Chain A
Amino acid sequence: MDFPILSLLILIPLIGAVITLFMGGTRQKSAKITACVFSAITLVLALLVLFSSSDFAGMSESYEWIKTGFITIGFSLEVDGLSVLMVFLTALLVLLVVIFSAEDKEIEEDRPNYFHTLLLAMEVGLMGVYTASDYFLFYIMWEVTLIPMYFMISWYGGPRRHYAAIKFFIYTHVASLVMLIGIFAMGFKAAEITGGSIDFSFASIAAAMEGANEGFQALVFALLFFGFAVKMPAVPFHTWLPDAHTEAPTGGSVLLAGVMLKMGSYGIIRICLEALPKGAEYWQWVIIIIGLVSIVYGAFACIAQKDLKKMVAFSSISHMGMVMLGIGCLSYAGITFAVFQMFAHGLITGILFMVCGMTGHKVGTREIPLLGGLAGKMPKYATFMMFGFMASLGLPGLIGFWGEFPVIYAFYEFIVANDVLWLLLFCMLSLMLTAGYYLWAMQRTLFGPETTKIDLTHAHDVSKSEFAAMAVLCVLVAFFGMWPDAALQFIEPYTQGIAALFGVI
């Protein structure tokens, strides 16, 4: 590989972040153009990776970074069927967020260059997480995503932003430290098994872990799983998410829900399943139950929410629970569609959070009881909201359907094999609830008589840049809904390898 395309995926946003950082004063206005250019270049690179070959076999780069007598750490990057869609999603969402926020007055007035610096810095971390194939690099990039998000919330967020930001920061940092302990433990065990120095690359640790017994794998799996589950977030480690989402600016929420939560599920598949298959089998029931509880709890919590954005935040918990359930099946179909659901949820949630952000901006409140009859006044806005909600509740023909129903099918296979048919009840319950809270929310905000509780005279419809950003997402949601194979062709070869670890094809 002569052209270091994977390194550029990390480097280009980094250069963009540094440039926008110094665009203070009179040049603040042009920061968004710079950010747009750099994130567009990144997207082009991501597309090049995506279409690099007709049958995607992945690509990798590796440079020696730190080599001491006892530790080897490489600057190793790799993209395969699991990560390629996430890389694409990251590049896409960052560009769309830049476009979407282009006409945001609040950001315009408050140091707009820093907003774009934070966005691009986050992209650096996200790209790093999704491409790293070395534990040291992975952990660094994992933490790199944290700080921009912290500032994004505490600078551009809502009224309770300080509390939300520090809660997000401490909560997820502690979780990452637990994960770090797990990484140490694996490194040590690998050195003990191979009898040499520690090599922190994914491949060599995974190879060495084959020699570790079930007890060790289960222990380390628990440590790592905790770190990832907090990020996803799975009930009961989810409490930071609704706060962070409610207070974060729209752009931050889109990235947080769209790609940052996926870091958790990505980590579970990439690290927990790949390196510790015995541990995964040991904890299978726990994963399944956490997944189920997240789905049902998230859906119930959605019904109770008054704040539209908080409702969408809880629906994220529910949908990420679906990913967890798919992973927990440890089967070919389960993992394949869990990955697909990660991708699908990333696209849909982008629309949802953009819609919620607009509600706050244009109408002035996101309180559902205060809203009503917005469809008449803001028809484009209403269309996008309906489209997003329909996609999210799994309407056939849109991408959400392919994210959810095959996972439930995989779960059905699992419960038949284990003879616990009654568990299916929870899945059915969640489907009903999901449809319920979305339709109910829609009815209360968009339809019926126009609200008189708030002043709607200043409410205006979607602006051009916002329209552009959401339209792109809607087209993709419909496209992959009609032709899921366009995404599945990347995932399937990868999951065949993973499923083989669990002896099922």
Chain B
Amino acid sequence: MDFTAIFGDYTAIAPMIILIVSALILPGVHLLGKRHTATWAVALVMAAVSTVINVLMLTDSFTGSALGMVTYDAYSGLMILLFQIVLLLAVMVSNASVETTRFNVGAYYALMTAAATGMMFVAGSKDLMMIFVGVELTSISSYALVSMKRNDARSAEAAVKYVIVGGMSTALTLYGISMLYGLTGTTEIAAIAQTAQVQGISLMFGIAMVAMIAGYGFKIAAVPFHMWAPDVYEGASTPVSLFLATGSKKMGLSVFFQIFLVMFVAGTACSKIAGPEIQYLFAIIASITMTVGNIVAIAQNNIKRMLAYSSIAQAGYILIVMAVMSEYALSAGMFHMFTHVFMKGGAFLVVGALICVGIGEKISDYRGLGKRSPFAAAAMMLFLFSLAGIPPLAGFTSKFFLFSSTMGVGTEAGVSADAQWIWLAFIAILNSAISLYYYARVVKAMYVDRGEKTEKVKIPAAFAVAIAICIAGVIVLGVYPQLIFDFCETAAHTLLFP
């Protein structure tokens, strides 16, 4: 389908335009309609329309740019699709969730849509300023989203923590960007890389890089910048936790790919500008992040906190891409991001659904769930086993690709052509073993332990549909990964070798 007839010069940002319109009209819709369900329906339909348009553009291999700053190609299209899936899942269940009933839903859906729009702009930009603006759009919207549970002290604490840490990270990033601009006279990523190659790497350049890595490290909750994540995920309402854990974090990772991978890998001409030191830096961050995430997760009794720490660990796995810096690793990383949306998103959905029927967030509250709600328990088991990487679920397949990228396959000339990163795979696999322990604890509580209550519970229909979608995702991507992996490969190639 040809969208240029409708969107003209702005076709490259067509999916975002729909969502911007949506975000602008939603408060009005709520004011006029005064019905939660009507507002929800508008938000959902607009998100769905945007998704359909993007899928058509992606399968059409559309390429183009708009505003001189945002481009649409195989990479950004795929990332936009990921953010749209997250948005759809989060919006779909928001109306049924008891946690959101007291919210000003007009503002709630508008903020969520705006946050998703910001992520999409990030995915399409090749310029540091544009990335910065997109990240800020997402961040500021999410601060408000987190604080929306107004009579919950945990929510307030989470929001304050999130704002302060977020502000810190913004400042660091901006500092780094300004130094880069001072050094090279441009904010375009490819141009910075070329200039840096001509000038050589100065100390200033290194400081700027470190500032930016730290700044965006906050966004993906890489250790040691991870302390905010468990509090925020615990304090926010579950649909928002889902949105942040699966969406916002992916945006941070996408920024890593777009800035650092592109600078250090893209076009062999500027491959070695920072040498292997930066790869080691990322390898260390990756291994520490996954290890700390997994070990601290063992001690958690609140399931949302446990999922938060497991999210940190998962980000650690994906950071393997940054250490290996190969095209294959990038496609594997993107694939893992997709499977992670379904498995982590699914797990948060189950938690949210159970809160609606009066089952708390403690692991001990899940005792006997296998008899009380066989569907929710089976779904949770699938998601947790997938996160632990048990075949034939999606989490295993994506980890298999991701860890096998450390073996040096698919590396381009000049960049780590041997298996020097195989030790990362060892650490990652050991981590998978650790993670099984705390996931199995939940499964044991659900199926083996006897609970105090035994009456059956029925989870809301909207949650059931969303959970079913995630189950389908976890199984289909596990058995037939090529459905998405082909797109990931094209995307990775497009990003690194445009």
Contact = CB atoms under 8 A, between A and B. Distances in A.
A294 to B, nearest CB: 25
B408 interface: yes
B199 interface: no
Nearest to B329: A70
A479 interface: no
A482 B440 CA distance: 47
Nearest to B492: A69
16 contacts: A68-B482, A68-B486, A71-B401, A136-B400, A139-B391, A143-B396, A144-B391, A154-B444, A155-B447, A165-B448, A169-B440, A177-B433, A180-B429, A184-B407, A188-B422, A198-B409
A105 B259 CA distance: 64
Contacts of A57: none
B436 interface: yes
Given A147-B390, A184-B422, 9 more contacts: A66-B485, A67-B482, A68-B482, A69-B489, A155-B448, A177-B430, A184-B407, A184-B425, A188-B422
A362 interface: no
- Which applies to chain B's interface (DSSP): helix, strand, loop or mixed? helix
A71 B404 contact: yes
Contacts of A151: 447
B433 A173 contact: yes
Contacts of A238: none
Contacts of B409: 70-71, 188, 191, 197-198
B403 interface: yes
Contacts of A166: 440, 444
Given A162-B448, A181-B426, A70 B403 contact: no
Interface in A43-74: 66-71
B407 A188 contact: yes
Contacts of B257: none
A184 B399 CA distance: 12
- 3 nearest CB pairs, A to B: A188-B407, A140-B391, A70-B410
Nearest to B371: A111
A188 B419 contact: yes
A184 to B, nearest CB: 6
Contact of A69 (B328, B391, B444): B328
A171 to B, nearest CB: 11
Contacts of B426: 181
Interface of B: 328, 331, 385, 390-392, 396, 400-401, 403-404, 407-410, 419, 422, 425-426, 429-430, 432-433, 436-437, 440, 444, 447-448, 481-482, 485-486, 489
A427 interface: no
Residue from A67, A169, A180 with most neighbouring chain B CB atoms (10 Å): A180
A244 B396 CA distance: 26
A475 interface: no
Given A66-B485, A184-B425, A187-B404, A154 B448 contact: yes
A166 B448 CA distance: 11
A68 B405 CA distance: 13
Contact of B403 (A68, A140, A143, A184): A184
Contacts of B447: 151, 154-155
B471 to A, nearest CB: 14
A173 B385 CA distance: 12
A187 B437 contact: no
A370 to B, nearest CB: 29
Interface residues of A, number: 34
A139 B481 CA distance: 16
Interface centre among A140, A146, A154, A191 (most CB of B within 10 A): A140
A191 B404 CA distance: 11
Nearest to B381: A147
A169 B390 CA distance: 12
Nearest to A188: B407
Nearest to B437: A170
Contacts of B419: 188, 192
Contacts of A181: 425-426, 429
A185 interface: yes
Interface string A132-145: 00001001100110
A423 interface: no
A329 to B, nearest CB: 33
Contacts of B433: 170, 173-174, 177
Contacts of A188: 404, 407-409, 419, 422
B407 A68 contact: no
Contacts of B448: 154-155, 162, 165
Interface in A189-216: 191-192, 197-198
Given A143-B391, A144-B391, A197-B409, A170 B436 contact: yes
Nearest to A197: B409
Nearest to B403: A184
Contact of B444 (A162, A184, A197): A162
A155 B331 CA distance: 41
Nearest to A190: B407
Contacts of A71: 401, 404, 409
A71 B407 CA distance: 12
A174 B481 CA distance: 25
Contacts of A139: 391
A184 B404 contact: yes
Nearest to B411: A70
Nearest to B392: A140
Contacts of A66: 481-482, 485
Contacts of A184: 403-404, 407, 422, 425
Contacts of B404: 71, 184, 187-188, 198
A9 to B, nearest CB: 17
Contacts of B481: 66
A173 B388 CA distance: 11
Contacts of A146: 390
Nearest to B482: A66
Contacts of B392: 140, 144
A180 B448 CA distance: 29
A416 B400 CA distance: 46
A198 B482 CA distance: 16
A167 to B, nearest CB: 11
A125 to B, nearest CB: 10
A177 B390 contact: no
A198 B410 CA distance: 10
Contacts of B422: 184-185, 188
Interface in A146-179: 146-147, 151, 154-155, 162, 165-166, 169-170, 173-174, 177
